[in-house]
Chains A and B, each alone.
Chain A
Amino acid sequence: MHPAFSVIFLTTLIGAAQGLFLALFTAQSYAAFKLLPQPDAHAFYGQGSLLALVLLIAGLGASFFHLGHPERAWRAATKWRTSWLSREVIVLPAFMGVVFLYGLAHWLGWHPVMMTLPGGLPVDPSAILGVAGTLLAFALFVCTAMIYASLKFLAEWHSPLTVINYILLGGASGFSLAAAFAAYTAPELVSFLTGWAIIITLLGLVGRAASLYRNARLKPKSTLQTAIGIKHPRIVQKTQGFMGGSFNTREFFHGSSVGVLRAIKWFFLVAVFPMPVVLLASGMQGATILLAAAFLVQYAGLLAERWYFFAQANHPQNLYYQSIA
C-alpha cells in the first residue's frame, strides 16, 4: 500500500493521545487507591488532558487530508453497523469529548463525591469520566486497528496482532509522553509512568516482532493464477492496459526500493523500542530531557513504523498492475 502521511499522522497522534489519557487515568486510579501520591490535578490531569486533546485534534486534522471531500466527513458516521471506519468516526469525537470533560473536571477542580464505593472509595465525576474515557480509548484503538485488521485481503493486517499492536504502540508512546509530561508537572509520578512506559514498550516490541515474524512467513492467498483464472506455473503480465499510472498504481504501491523498506524497518525497530527504553530507564530519576527525548524518538520511530505498516501490506489488486508495455 502507499503510505499516506495523513493516515500515518492520524493513527500515531491519536494513538499517543489515547495512551496519554490512559496514563493519566491510570495514575489517578493508583492515586485514588493511595498507591501513588496525589499530583497537582490541575497541572497534571488538566493540562495532560489538554495535551491529549491537542494531539487528537491534530490527528483528526491530519485525517481530513486523506479525504477527497472533507466537508462531507459528517456523513461518515452513518454506517456504524458495518463499517469500522464509521465506528472510528463516531468513537473519536466521543473520546475527544470525554477527554475534554475529564480535563475540565480536573482543571476546575470539580470533585463532588457522587457516590462511594464499597471500601469507602469516593467517586467523583473525573473518575466516571476516566472510566468512560478508558473504555472509549480502547474502543478507539480497536476501531482504528480494525479498519485495517478487518480487511481480509491484506493478510499483513488481517490479524489480532494488528489490534494488539495499535493498543501497545499507542499505549507505549502515550505512557512515554506521560512520563516526560510528568517530569514537568508531577515529578512524583515520573518513575511510575516511566516504569509502565518501559513495560508497554517492551510488550509492544514483542507484539510488533510477532507481527513482523508472521508477515515474513505469509503465503499470498491470491496469485496471478487465481487473479486471471488460468492454471499455469508461468504467467507474466506484459501490460496492465495503460502506461502513465492510475489510481491503482498510486494508491496501492509504496514505490520504494527493498533497501529503503529494510532501512525503515530497522530504524523503527531501534527508534520505537530499545532507544526509548534506554532513554526512559536513564531518565527515570527525573531527567526531563532524557524523557522528552524518549518520547520524541519513539514518536519519530512510530511514524516510520506506521509507514512500514502500510508499505509492507501487499494488496492482491497489485497482481493486476505489474507491467507496462
Chain B
Amino acid sequence: MTQLALVIDLNVCVGCQACVTSCKEWNTSGSAGPMGDQNPYGADPTGTFFNRVQTFEVGEFPNTETVHFPKSCLHCEDPPCVPVCPTGASYKRKEDGIVLVDYDKCIGCKYCSWACPYGARELDEQQQVMKKCTLCVDRIYDMTMAPEDRKPSCVKACPTSARLFGDIHDPQSAVSLAIRESGGYPLMPEWGTQPANHYLPRRKTRIKIHEDELERADNPLKVDRQLPRPAMDEPTLDDVTTW
C-alpha cells in the first residue's frame, strides 16, 4: 500500500517561506481553492494557508540553534481527524494515503480540527469548510504536466530542497531512505497517530585538527627563512648548557 508523504529536512531549511506562498498560489487557484484572506490590506490580515513555516530558538546564547520548522498536514496513517467527521467529508484515500476533505460534504463543524493534535486544518472563513494540505493531489497525478512537475507545489518551490516527497511504504524510495539514514522522526509520537510526514534532524559537520597537523615540513615560512614558531633567535637550552 502506498503512503505518500513529505519528509522535511530541518538540516537545510532556512525558513524562507517559499513553500508557504507557493502552496497558497497553487491551491487558491486549484481544486482546493479559493483560500480566502480577510483584511488583506488592513489590520491583522489573516487567511487560509495549508502550510506554515515557524521559527524556534533552542538553547541559550551563545549555544543557540535557530530552527525553522515548516508544518502542514502530516497525512497520518491513523488520522484522528477522519473517524470523528460526522459526514464523511474527511477521508483518507486507500490508494495513496492522502487525507482529504470533500468540500461539498463538509458542514463546517470544525470537529476534525479539534481531533488533530497538530493544528493542521484551517476553516476557510469565506467558504466555511475545512481545508488542509492535499499534497497537491491535483498536480501529482496530472499527466498533462511534465514528470518533474508532478509533485506538490511546495516541494517544487523549495530552494534548499528541504522537502522530499514520495511513498514512505516503499523501502526503496528516497523518502524512506532519508528517514532511515538521516534519523527521520514523526511529530508527537505519543499520540499514536503515525504521521506519514517525517522530519530530519540537524546534522553537524565538524573538523578535527590534530596539533601535529598544523605545521608541515613544507611550511612556506621556511622558504622565506622564517621558521614557524619558535623563531631561530629565541633563547634555547643551548645558550646556557655547557656539559
Contacts and interface: CB of A to CB of B under 8 A. Distances in A.
Interface residues of A, number: 58
A242 B35 CA distance: 15
Contacts of B125: 247
Nearest to B53: A241
B54 A1 contact: no
Interface stretch (A126-134, A197-205, A226-234): A226-234
Contacts of A76: 86-87, 107, 109
Contacts of A229: 185-187, 199, 201
A221 B190 CA distance: 7
Given A229-B187, A244-B39, A224 B86 contact: no
Contacts of A243: 44
B117 interface: yes
A69 B101 CA distance: 14
B117 A317 contact: yes
Contacts of A226: 187-190
Contact of A228 (B56, B66, B110): B56
Interface stretch (B57-65, B136-144, B149-157): B57-65
A68 B106 contact: yes
Given A222-B188, A230-B201, A72 B87 contact: yes
Contacts of B134: none
Nearest to A252: B119
A320 to B, nearest CB: 5
A245 B65 CA distance: 26
Tell me the dominant secondary structure on chain B's binding face: loop
* Chain A CB within 10 Å, residue with most, of B17, B58, B125: B58
A234 B59 contact: yes
A316 interface: yes
Interface residues of B, number: 63
Interface in A297-325: 315-318, 320-321, 325
Contacts of A316: 117-118, 188, 191
A234 B201 contact: no
Nearest to A82: B83
A169 interface: no
19 contacts: A68-B107, A68-B123, A75-B87, A75-B105, A78-B86, A79-B86, A224-B56, A226-B188, A228-B69, A230-B201, A241-B17, A241-B52, A241-B53, A241-B71, A244-B39, A248-B122, A252-B119, A320-B119, A325-B55
Given A68-B106, A72-B105, A83-B84, 18 more contacts: A68-B128, A69-B129, A150-B84, A151-B114, A152-B191, A154-B114, A228-B67, A229-B187, A230-B201, A236-B56, A243-B44, A244-B45, A245-B44, A246-B48, A316-B118, A316-B191, A318-B119, A320-B71
Interface of A: 1, 66-70, 72-73, 75-79, 82-86, 89, 147, 150-154, 221-222, 224, 226-230, 232, 234-248, 251-252, 315-318, 320-321, 325
5 tightest CB-CB pairs across the interface, nearest first?
A68-B108, A68-B128, A317-B119, A241-B52, A82-B83
